[in-house]
Amino acid sequence: MRHPILIPLCFAGVFALSACQKPGDNEVNRTMKDLNVIDESNMSNIMLTVADPSEAVAYFSKASKDNPDRIDLQRGLAQSLIRAKRPTEAVTAWTKVLTHPEKTEDDRVELADALIRSGEWKKAKTELNRVPPTHESYKRYRLEAMVADSNKDWKKADSFYETASGMTTNPGSVLNNWGYSKLTRGNYKDAERLFTEALTYDKGLYTAKNNLVLARGAQRVYTLPVIPMTQVERAQLLHSLALTAIKQGDVTTGKGLLKDAIDTHPQHFEAAVRSLEALENNVSN
């Protein structure tokens, strides 16, 4: 029978608390708001690093719609679209970021990056041309080098690659790109040197290992370089070297390398087996 009394008592307690609020309570409210911002910032960092890219896109899509004036959330959406391999949508998102009054030159560089990923090389060049020369960053020069490469402007490409590689403590990926540029030009010695240098910064960069083998194979050097590699990587690199030899007409050497690749791989190496079977069928025919 006492229950009906509890409800009015609770209301009385609420009114008493509100009546007793002091000026300092506003500080508490501000502190709670600051804590919410910190929590949200942590969530954004998680979404941009370890979260599933599709989940990150969904999170930032909703957050930016709920807070249309927040440029950090707009950037988060654009970045998460890149992570989700949706560059065309990322172009739209970065374009929107650039309409914000708090935009920066880095945002324009990011738009250029999204345009390159979308295959819009001319538009990327236009955006990079809008970035003032005083804005110097590793990413800006790396993209400038890639655009120059696409236009076969080798002198500019080399200059931008060199500048970019000097603006980071880990230039492995940009040295690999530079080396690939040299490889496509037929400058195999320089390409080999750049791939080798890239691996001194990042020993796990498999693309540089494979490109190094291709550069050596193009010079008819059919031995693997002395670099760190797993047993699986060794087999894969032997396979790449074998295909390079076969394309250059060194069929016997290629056949031997394919057999080495199959023997080296710890499991069944289907790709190498198929290559060897195709080669033997070709020879017999």
The whole-number pLDDT of residue 36 equals 56
| Distant-in-sequence, close-in-space partners of 151: CB < 8 Å, separation ≥ 6 | 121, 125
Architecture per CATH, 51-130: Alpha Horseshoe (1.25)
Domain definitions of the chain by residue range = 51-130
Each of the 285 residues of the chain gets a pLDDT tens digit; together they read 444 434 343 434 433 434 444 555 555 455 544 545 546 678 888 999 989 999 999 999 999 999 999 999 999 999 999 999 999 999 999 999 999 999 999 999 999 999 999 999 999 999 999 999 999 999 999 999 999 999 999 999 999 999 999 999 999 999 999 999 999 999 999 999 999 999 999 999 999 999 999 999 999 999 999 999 999 999 999 999 999 999 999 999 999 999 999 999 999 999 999 999 988 887 655
pTM higher than 0.85, yes or no?
no
- The pair phi, psi for residue 228, each rounded to 5°, is -65, 130
